[in-house]
Structures are given as structure tokens and as C-alpha cells.
Structure 1
Amino acid sequence: MTNFLTKTVVTAGALAVAVWLIDDITLTGDSTGRKAVTLLLVALIFGVLNAVVKPLLQLLSFPVVILTLGLFLLVINALMLMLTSWVADKVDLSFHVDGFWPAFLGALVITIVTWAVEMVTGSD
């Protein structure tokens, strides 16, 4: 349970960095506390989608992933962030990704930040 909570908080932090760095990824809210709760909820959605949908996409796109030497996984990560934005919109959370390229850059930022935090903390 601790690992799940840690990953959720790290993902929420990575999402916050993506919101901060990329103009077309937006998070709105009345207060800092509301934004933090929204980020945690979006991180939960992102985690669930990555656990359920992403493996299926990876399996279905396996030949393309092989042909591109794994670079297509970046596209899958961008699509997962766009799907997260769509789900967040459906459940009335104020998180939005406006287009593929911001999602692509956001997925890169989230991956790098998550990797860096895991390297520093030694978590898996």
C-alpha cells in the first residue's frame, strides 16, 4: 500500500512539473489545495489507465514497437496522457491536455521526472 501511495504522489508531482513546463497542459483551480487534490486524482486516473489500458496497447502495437526500435512507446505514453485528460474531463476534473504534441512533451517530462525521483529515492 505504501508503494502505491508513493507512486501516486510521485506521479502527481511529475504531472505538476508537466503543467508548469508545458503551456498547453493546464490545471485550474481556486486554491493550491484544490489543485493538489486534482493532481492526486489525475495521478490515480493516470495510474489506473497505465495499469489497464497501456499493456493492451503495447501488445497490439508490438510489431510497430519492434520496427521503430521502441520509439513508438513514446507515442503510446502520449496517448495515455491524452486519455487521462479525456477521463479527467468526464469526471469534471480541471486538468486538460490540448493536443498530441503537448501530450508527447508532457509524457516525456513525466517519464523523466518519475525516473529521476525513483533514482534519488531508490524506489522501484
Structure 2
Amino acid sequence: MKLIAKWVLSASALLFVAYVYNGVEVRSFATAMGAALVIGLLNAVVRPVLVVLTLPVTVLTLGLFLFVINALMFWAASALLDGFVVRSFLAALIGSLLYTAIGMVIDSALERLLVKK
């Protein structure tokens, strides 16, 4: 149940990012659901490999290169899906920062709701 709630809320967060920032475009809620799924899969499968491969750069930049990796995952998801458009790398960076911040709020809220039960 928590996984489905997280998925729906992540799709809603993606729609919110598209609403507040014009560098990201999502055409429908179904597209947002697919994009949230693809972003989640990329973050689970590809991101760890990229983090390990770019570890020296990440250490040199004191972890700031992780923002670049997050933006690349966000941008890659838009390249894989129709209806989810990220206009540039800068748009991917800003969109991924907003999406991550909202995702952290969602995770915190879900944890608090589940602890109270």
C-alpha cells in the first residue's frame, strides 16, 4: 500500500513541478505516473552505477556532482517517455531539485502516517 501511495504522490509531485516551473512539461496524470515509475527505476538501477563510476569527481566536488547525476536521471526519463518534456540540462537540474525536495516531504509525511498507526 505504501508503494502505491508513494507512486501516486510522486506523480502528483511531478505534475506540481511542471505547474510551477515551465522548463518541465507533463501532459497528463497517466504520463506523470509513467514518468514517476521510470525515474524511480532509473534511480534504483542506473544511478548507483553512475555514483560508483563518478566517485572521484564526486569526492573532488564535495558531493555536488550528485546533483548532476540526479539531473541526468531526470533528463533521461524525459528522453524515454512521450508527454514528459524537459527542455534543457538546466531545466533538468532545477526540475530534479524541486522533485527531490517534494519527494523528501512525501517520504517524511508517509513515515509519520505509518508510525502513528
Do both proteins adopt the same fold according to a TM-score greater than 0.5, normalized to the shorter chain?
A: yes
CA shift, 1:3, in A, is 3.3
Runs of 4+ aligned residues of structure 1 deviating over 6 Å after TM superposition are: none
Q: Distance in 1 between matches of 2:5 and 2:109?
A: 13
- Of 84, 97, 104, 1:108 maps to 97
Other-structure match for 1:70: 63
Equivalent residues of 1:17, 1:109 under 8 A apart: no
CA shift, 1:6, in A, is 2.5
Q: Secondary structure at the match of 1:44?
A: helix
User: Alpha-carbon deviations, 1:19-43, whole Å to 9, x = none?
Assistant: 0111121122xxxxxx111110111
Other-structure match for 1:27: 26
Other-structure match for 1:32: none
Q: Secondary structure at the match of 1:37?
A: helix
Other-structure match for 1:82: 75
Provide the alpha-carbon RMSD of the alignment.
1.6
Q: Secondary structure at the match of 1:121?
A: helix
Equivalent residues of 1:65, 1:73 under 8 A apart: yes
CA shift, 1:120, in A, is 2.2
- Of 75, 85, 97, 1:96 maps to 85
CA shift, 1:16, in A, is 1.1
Q: Distance in 1 between matches of 2:109 and 2:45?
A: 27
Number of residue-to-residue matches in the alignment: 113
Q: Distance in 2 between matches of 1:108 and 1:73?
A: 11
Q: Does 1:4 find its partner at 2:21? A: no
Other-structure match for 1:118: 107
Structure 2 letter corresponding to 1:108 = L
Q: Distance in 1 between matches of 2:41 and 2:69?
A: 15
Structure 1 letter corresponding to 2:24 = I
Q: Which runs of 5+ in 1 are unaligned?
A: 29-34
Instruction: State the TM-score, normalizing by the size of structure 1.
Output: 0.84
The alignment-based identity, stated in percent, is: 35
